[in-house]
Structure 1
Amino acid sequence: MLRAALREVSTALKEGRVSPTELCQRCLSLIKTTKFLNAYITVTEDTALRQAEESEKRYRRGQSLGDLDGIPVAVKDNFSTAGIETTCASNMLKGYIPPYNATVVQKLLDQGAVLIGKTNLDEFAMGSGSTDGIFGPVRNPWSYSRQYKEKCGQNSRLENEDSSWLIAGGSSGGSAAAVSSFTCFAALGSDTGGSTRNPAAHCGVVGLKPTYGLVSRHGLIPLVNSMDVPGILTRCVDDAATVLGVLAGHDPKDSTTVQDPFNPFELPSVIDVSKFCIGIPKEYHIPGLSSETLAVWSKAADLFENAGARVIEVSLPHTCYSIVCYHVLCTAEVASNMARFDGLEYGHRSNIDKSTESMYAATRREGFNDVVRGRILSGNYFLLKQNYEKYFIKAQKVRRLIANDFVNVFNSGVDVLLTPTTLRDAVPYVEFIKEDNRTRSAQDDIFTQAANMSGLPAVSIPTALSEKGLPIGLQFVGHAFQELQLLTVAKWFEKQAKFPILQLQEMLDHADALSHQKISLFS
């Protein structure tokens, strides 16, 4: 049952073949068994069991709230949850308990979903590996797949110095690992430059970034207001569409949400892709793209063409400026957003009280890690009076050119763009940390951040296994507010790809190995 799709589980709950409490207990048990993944910061066991019991009562009365009633879900720990600690994996917010739920969290609860825990991330969602938070890095569940262990020459019981475990991607790595390891059926991430799609690709799950303005940001602790979007992580495209139907819609508490009504949709079971035009951006053939990812991308294009779709090469000419433009705008907004953490109103406050200025400085030095402080300093530099026009305003103009590139391509008749999600499959942690956070993010966000700057919907679909037996994901980018079309194409492709989901037993075998040894999470 833990491997089933949302609607299958919902049907089983309605028919009484499994109870919400039993389902919740199974997920909680598996969270404990796979604790070595470090996917969760907070496991809300008591809350989840209480919600599951309430769901069970509704089912007995024949009053199900919908397809998510009784379904265990997880939430990235940068979404506010009433009465439940929300840390952003930072000392600055450690111990912070919000008095309210983020709108997307409340919508899930209103549909009867069971909140099973808050997931791990890079501090304040600044990173691409889920390695830079105060609670330690997230381990990719595929580190323990049979194929990968065989390629790495691992035995069934790993040695104490296990240097081969893989990053989960970031910054929503905990959410992706939670879905990939079957401890929940769906999870919320956030996506500012690829933070939902990147870990989805590395963990072999579906990662959807909706159109900016379609889903409320109220209660999502902001990173970059003009790009942040709540993301959805599931194990199949149909599940992503189901969750989107719950979350989307205008929110009076978020003025950036569009007021047009959103009609939830069900994806067709029979899809004819011959009516679609698929665009392949020529600028995305870049140095650093692995030969395996390139081959998978090419085969995917052939798959569409052989099915009758029109596949054409397109140009996004300002792509080469995109990642630099993104980092100027990102750090500028980070500097602005992080200014609220001054030690006066909430969050960490230093004991140093020599002066107001010294308290500010000490609070931010103690509360933020090097990555966050570095982005704040960069952003403040770009926003200096003498630099404002040269960097920030110029970057805004380049952002408009990048957005116009997409408009021009879609106006030419292209329905969906097909690109890689990441340069390559997941890398071992020891290899990943050789580069600094800024360099890693520039590499890992190269294919994803342009959709955020343009406000477009995009989804990463697990496509194939690399030679090492690790997931390779491809990205589809669609017209603004055309999630139905985007996910229809993605569903067709998902069916053709027939991606093999991770075998649950392989992780459980590793959990058994851990029960006989002490393996440091940081080894």
Structure 2
Amino acid sequence: MNRRLPIKLSELSELFRTKTLDPLSVTENALALADRLRNLNAFSRICSSSALQQAKESSQRYRDGKGLGTLDGAPIAVKDNFCTENVHTTCASRMLENFVPTYDATVYARLKQCGAVLIGKTNMDQYGMGSGTVDSIFGPTKNCWSDNLDGKDFRIAGGSSGGSATAVASGVCFAALGSDTGGSTRNPASYCGVVGFKSTYGLLSRHGLIPLVNSMDVPGIITRTVEDCVAVFNAIAGPDERDSTTFKPPFKQIPIPEADQISLKGLRIGIPIEYHCPGLSNEVLETWTKVADMLEDAGAIVKSVSLPYTSASIFVYSILNQCEVSSNMARYDGIEYGYRSDENHSTERLYARSRAKGFNSVVKNRILAGNFFLLRKNYDKYFQKALKVRRLIAEDFTRAFRSVDIILSPTTLSTAPRYDEFVRSNNRDQCAVQDFCTQPANMGGVPALSLPVRLSTEDKLPISLQLTAPSFSEQNLFKVASWIENEVQFYRHYAYS
């Protein structure tokens, strides 16, 4: 393909409609690019044959004048913990290395109904337990912004949806699904310079998403622009009878924001004082201050707010995460499905050996910790107390949103670390540091979006900020994000062909 591809889905769709481009040629180009960039290790599996078939069907629809809309023919990727019919879904773990689902996750099924073309399944930390996409049986994913991809000197993509973020940032896909339990979509989006979004808990179906922490898991969306994020969100949001936690009333489509017509006059922006935390880099702080000033100059009211239980969120998240992990991982026993050890002399040994070899050390440590917290003697001391503090964290947001409409904060405390530096610390410590600003939104169930703002002066890596809004306020969240995006125009850094 000699033509440079557009950045936005709407532009791609228009080129398809006018027959300037063809979905099949775009898909072939995406597959070729994925092959050229395989050293990034963004994908756990490329779905070449099915992608080409989906693209041919899309091309025929456009020839017949029956295109399905903005997503028809667009290359997408799906994180490897969403079930995809007849396509391996591994969670990047030996335990599910050969698992092939017989059904599609609801969010992917809805994308498929819109004509999206699945290029492949993306790499991740095993079962979503991590903040780097370095704990995978397929090896670590590399950030496409790295100045050096050799050895261990590359920059991490972030986690646990690092493969999805890299697939979008590198230009292979226009959009990707991730999952977000404590920031696992927004963290890699921040490091890779793309838009990462988690909705209000219950607006997106979790059916077919292999669970990590049921009470916090949210399907996430990764795109290059806010407009594309809204388009994908509109396609997949809404109630699902197969997921009892989804919000029951019909979903009302969100209009695509028109940045040049957005007024911020009187909009109240909160700056959480507790997010000025140890480890926050100077460049991230400068970016945060600059964007706050931009908003104020545009007529917004910028004021400080307090989220006093933020500092407790890491501990609360760790306890609740590990308790639910220990419960969710109990299903993997080597009997019904998943890895089964051959070293068996009894049922108990079958369980023990299958789990010992099927899970990595991160998963096993969280299972052990969760079982410890759930012991009868520890239940009230840890689990019940963590639930009470989680409620206080949620009430922090409720109280703050009485005086502000949007909270502006960093997404991550720094730009993407180098791989060799990152792996020197253990997984739990890294999650505690890098997810400091993202975890509270999951415990409060509120929507949040990470938006790339600029490249750092020091290392030329993306710096992003996070916008958080009250539950079911996605339209306002997208409006502010679109205004900032139009001002900073980070997408100018993308030049794919």
Judge same fold: TM > 0.5, yes or no. yes
Q: Is the 8 A contact 1:204 1:501 kept in 2?
A: no
> Partner of 1:442 in structure 2?
432
1:196 aligns with 2:185: yes
Q: Match of 2:110, SS?
A: helix
Out of 436, 452, 469, the position equivalent to 1:462 is 452
Taking the aligned partners of 1:498 and 1:56, their CA distance within structure 2 comes to 32
What letter is aligned with 1:229? V
Q: 2:412 aligns with which of 418, 422, 429?
A: 422
Aligned to 2:172: 183
Tell me the residue number matched to 1:252. 241
Instruction: Quote the offset at 1:501 in angstroms.
Output: 4.9
Q: Which amino acid aligns with 1:301?
A: A
How far did 1:3 drift?
4.1
Amino acid at match of 1:174: G
Q: Distance in 1 between matches of 2:118 and 2:6?
A: 18
1:294 aligns with 2:285: yes
The whole-number CA distance in structure 1 between the counterparts of 2:383 and 2:64 is 58
Q: CA deviation at 1:448?
A: 0.3
Question: Matches of residues 290-439 of structure 1 in structure 2 within 5 Å?
Answer: 290-412=281-403, 414-439=404-429
Which residue of 102, 110, 115 corresponds with 1:112? 115
For 1:162 and 1:503, locate their aligned partners in 2 and report how far apart those are by CA, in whole Å: 26
- Between the aligned partners of 2:38 and 2:241, the Cα distance in structure 1 is 39
Deviations 1:235-277, CA, capped at 9 Å, x for gaps: 0000000000001000000000011111212233110011310
Following superposition, the deviation at residue 502 of structure 1 comes to 4.5
Shift of 1:336: 0.4
Q: Which amino acid aligns with 1:52?
A: A
Paired amino acid for 2:353: A
Q: Cα RMSD over matched residues? A: 1.2
- Answer with 181-190 or 268-277: which moved more: 268-277
Structure 2 unpaired stretches of 5+: none
- Output the amino acid matched with 1:287: P
Q: Which amino acid aligns with 1:246?
A: A
Provide, for residues 282-339 of structure 1, a one-character-per-residue CA deviation record: whole Å limited to 9, x for no partner: 0110111111111111111111111110000000111111110011000000000000
Q: Name the CA distance, whole Å, in 2 between partners of 1:318 and 1:366.
A: 38
Distance across 2 between alignment mates of 1:70 and 1:268: 23
Give the whole-Å Cα distance in 2 for the aligned partners of 1:362 and 1:163.
32
Distance 1:135 1:408, change over 3 A: same
Q: Is the 8 A contact 2:6 2:12 kept in 1?
A: no
Q: Please give the secondary structure, in 1, of the residue aligned with 2:177.
A: strand
The residue identity in structure 2 corresponding to 1:129 is G
Which residue of 2 is the match for residue 210 of structure 1?
A: 199
Cα deviation code 1:373-405 (max 9, x no counterpart): 000001111000000000000000000000001
Question: 188-197 or 298-307, which moves further after superposition?
Answer: 298-307
Contact 1:180–1:502 (8 Å) recurs in 2: no
Write the distance in 2 (CA, Å) between the matches of 1:164 and 1:369: 24
Paired letter, 2:300? A
Question: Hey, what's the Cα distance between the residues in 1 that align with 2:342 and 2:266?
Answer: 65
Please identify, of 426-435 and 352-361, the stretch whose mean Cα deviation from structure 2 is larger: 352-361
Counterparts of 1:479 and 1:228, CA distance in 2 = 18
Contact 1:193 1:450 in 2 (8 A): yes
Choose from 63, 67, 80 the match for 1:64: 67
Verify: 1:27 aligned to 2:9, yes or no: no
Contact 1:142 1:502 in 2 (8 A): no
Aligned to 1:73: 76
Asked if structure 1 preserves the Cα contact closer than 8 Å seen for 2:177 and 2:220, the reply is yes
1:165 shift after superposition: 1.1
1:339 alignment partner, SS class? helix
SS in 2 for 1:4: coil
Residue equivalent to 1:164: 153
Question: Which letter does structure 2 place at the counterpart of 1:86?
Answer: T
Letter in 2 for 1:456: V
Deviation string, structure 1 residues 32-67 (Cα, Å, up to 9, x no partner): 111110000110000000000011111111111111
The residue number in structure 2 matching 1:91 is 94
Cα 1:121–1:488, aligned 2, differ >3 Å: closer, same or farther?
A: same
SS at match of 2:139: coil
Residue pair 1:2, 1:182 contacting (<8 A) in 2 also: no
Q: Distance in 1 between matches of 2:489 and 2:226?
A: 12
TM, length-normalised to structure 2 = 0.97
Partner Cα distance (1:292, 1:268) in 2: 29
Q: Which residue identity is paired with 1:388?
A: Y
The 1-side partners of 2:467 and 2:301 are apart by: 15
Tell me, in whole angstroms, the C-alpha distance in 2 between the residues paired with 1:320 and 1:200.
23
**In 2, distance between residues paired with 1:503 and 1:408?**
39
TM-score after normalising by structure 1: 0.92
Matched to 1:422, the amino acid is: T
Is the 1:267–1:484 Cα contact (8 Å) retained in structure 2?
no
Partner of 1:513: none
